[in-house]
Amino acid sequence: MMKGNQTCIKCVMDSSDPSITFNNKGICKYCCEYERILKRMKISKEKTQKRLDAIAEEIKSYGRGHDYDSLLGLSGGVDSSYVAYLAKQMEYRPLLVNVNNGWDSKLAVENVKLLVDKLGYDLYTYTINWQEFKDMQRSLLKASVIDIEILSDHVITAALFKIARENKIKYILTGGNIATEYGMPKAWVWRKQDLSNIKAIQKQFGTKKIQSLPTFSTWQRVRNAIFKQIRYIKLLNYIDYRKNEAIEILSSSFGWQYYGGKHYESIFTKFYQAYILPEKFGIDKRKSHFSSLIRNGEMTRNEALEELQKPPYEPKELHNDMEYVINKLGFSKDEFEEIMQLPIKSHTDYPSDERILRYLDPLIKIYEKIFEY
C-alpha cells in the first residue's frame, strides 16, 4: 500500500491523517472500505421497505400503552431534524429531547422550535449544569488533547440514555449515518465513552467535581450491548440518504435554515472545528466531511478542493466567535493564547479505559451485530 504526502484521487483525504494508506491506484483506504460497505448494504427497494416495516412494527409494538414509542435527540442540525421528519412520516411517537449545553446557535434553537411546532411532538429540554460543564471544557483545553468535544458528545449520549430509562423507552432514534459521516480518521477524535479519561483530565485541571452531569461508562455500554436495555436505531442507514435533499425538504416543509457546516449548529463546535483544530493541531475536518459527500454523490472532488482553498472562517465571523467563546469560558485572550501554544498531548497521556476496551470491543460488536436488522 502506498503512503506519503499525497491526496486520494477519488476524495480529498490526504496524509494529514497519519493512519491513511493508498492502494497502487492512489485511492485511499476510506474510499476502498466505503465501496465494500456499499456492496454489503445495497439491497432492493422491496427489502429496504421490509426492514423499515420490521423496525416500525417492533418500535410501535413496544410503545403500545406508553406515551412514547421512542426517543429522538434533536439538535436542530440536518441529520437529527430529518430523522424527526421521517419519524412523522412513519407514524412513530417519539419524545424529542434537546440537550442544552449552553452553546446552541440561534439558528439551531429556531430550527428546533419550528420542527416541534409543525410536527406536534413533545419536546423535553435537558439543561445541564453550565458551571460544571464550563469547568470541564476549560480542563480539556488545558489538557491540550485533540478531542475537546468528547465532553459534549459524552454528556449528550448519557443524557439521552438517562431520559430513556426514566421514561421506560427502549428505542433511541439517531441521525448517525454512513452516507455523510463515514471515514473520520481515528487520530482526529477520541472514543466518547471513555469516562476514565474525562474524569482524569478533570481531576488534574478542573476546580469542580463531576456531580450533576450525566455520564455513560464503557461498562454501561457493555451491559447495554449484552442485555439490549436500550437500542439505537439509525434510520438514515435504511434509506438512500442525501444531505442536500434533506435540507431542501426541511427548508420547504418547516422553514428550517442551514447553518453552514457539519455540526455548526453549536457555536463551540464550529469554533473548535474551524479554528482550534486547524490552528493548533493542523487538522481540517472539512476534508473528511467533504469526502463523505463526494462518496455519496453530493459533491464533486473539484468542488471540494475549491472549498478547501477558502479559510474555514470568515475573518469578521472568527473575531466575533472567538471573543464570544473565550469570554463565555472565562479566559482572557492571553490565557487562551497560552493554551493554544501548549504542547499537544495524547489522550493516552492521561488515565484511560482504552486498554480494557480493546479486549471488550470485539464482544460488544458481536452483540451489536446480532441485533442489527
- Could you read off the pLDDT of 289-324 as tens digits, one per residue? 999 999 999 999 999 999 999 999 989 999 999 999
Are residues 154 and 5 part of one domain? no
Output the pLDDT for position 220. 77
Contact call for residues 149 and 233 (beta carbons, < 8 A) = no
Contact call for residues 164 and 170 (beta carbons, < 8 A) = yes
Asked, for residue 99, whether it belongs to a domain, the answer is yes
DSSP 48-75: HHHHHHHHHHHHHHHHTTSS-SEEEE--
Of 41-50, 102-111, 359-368, least confident by mean pLDDT is 359-368
Give tens-digit pLDDT for 329-355.
999 999 999 999 999 999 999 999 887
Output the pLDDT for position 51. 85
AA identity, residue 74:
L
Give tens-digit pLDDT for 153-207.
999 999 999 999 999 999 999 999 998 899 999 999 998 889 999 999 999 999 9
Are residues 14 and 49 part of one domain? no
Output the pLDDT for position 353. 86
| Residue from 178, 147, 155, 15 nearest 99 by CA | 155
3-state SS assignment for residue 98? strand
Domain at 163, CATH number? 3.40.50.620
Are residues 92 and 18 part of one domain? no
Are residues 104 and 71 part of one domain? yes
Sort strands 171-173 and 123-127 into parallel, antiparallel or unpaired: unpaired
Burial (0-12, 13-18, 19+ Cβ within 10 Å), 81: buried
The rounded mean pLDDT for the chain is 91
> Average pLDDT, stretch 119-134?
96
Grid coordinates in use for 174?
439517531
> Average pLDDT, stretch 223-228?
67
Asked, for residue 324, whether it belongs to a domain, the answer is no
Are residues 26 and 52 part of one domain? no
Are residues 78 and 5 part of one domain? no
Q: Say whether pLDDT at 32 is over 50.
A: yes
Are residues 134 and 85 part of one domain? yes
Output the pLDDT for position 369. 53
Are residues 133 and 38 part of one domain? no
Output the pLDDT for position 355. 77
Taking residue 124's Cβ as centre, other Cβ atoms within 10 Å add up to 16
3-state SS assignment for residue 287? helix
Output the pLDDT for position 134. 98
The domain tally of the chain equals 2
Q: Find how far residue 158's CA is from the centre of its chain.
A: 14
Nearest 10 degrees: CA dihedral of 275, 258, 182, 188? 10
DSSP 146-162: S-TTHHHHHHHHHHHHH
Asked, for residue 295, whether it belongs to a domain, the answer is no
Q: Which residue range(s) make up the domain with 34?
A: 1-42
Are residues 156 and 88 part of one domain? yes
Q: Say whether pLDDT at 358 is over 90.
A: no
> Average pLDDT, stretch 21-48?
87
Asked, for residue 336, whether it belongs to a domain, the answer is no
Asked, for residue 339, whether it belongs to a domain, the answer is no
Helix (H) or strand (E) holding 95: strand 94-100
Output the pLDDT for position 31. 97
Are residues 36 and 124 part of one domain? no
Q: Say whether pLDDT at 219 is over 90.
A: no
* Longest CA–CA separation in the chain, Å: 60
Give tens-digit pLDDT for 231-286.
889 999 988 899 999 999 999 999 999 877 666 788 999 999 999 999 999 999 99
Output the pLDDT for position 370. 42
Asked, for residue 312, whether it belongs to a domain, the answer is no
Can you tell me the distance from the alpha carbon of 165 to that of 180, in angstroms, rounded to the nearest whole number? 29
> Average pLDDT, stretch 36-64?
85
Are residues 25 and 112 part of one domain? no
Are residues 142 and 34 part of one domain? no
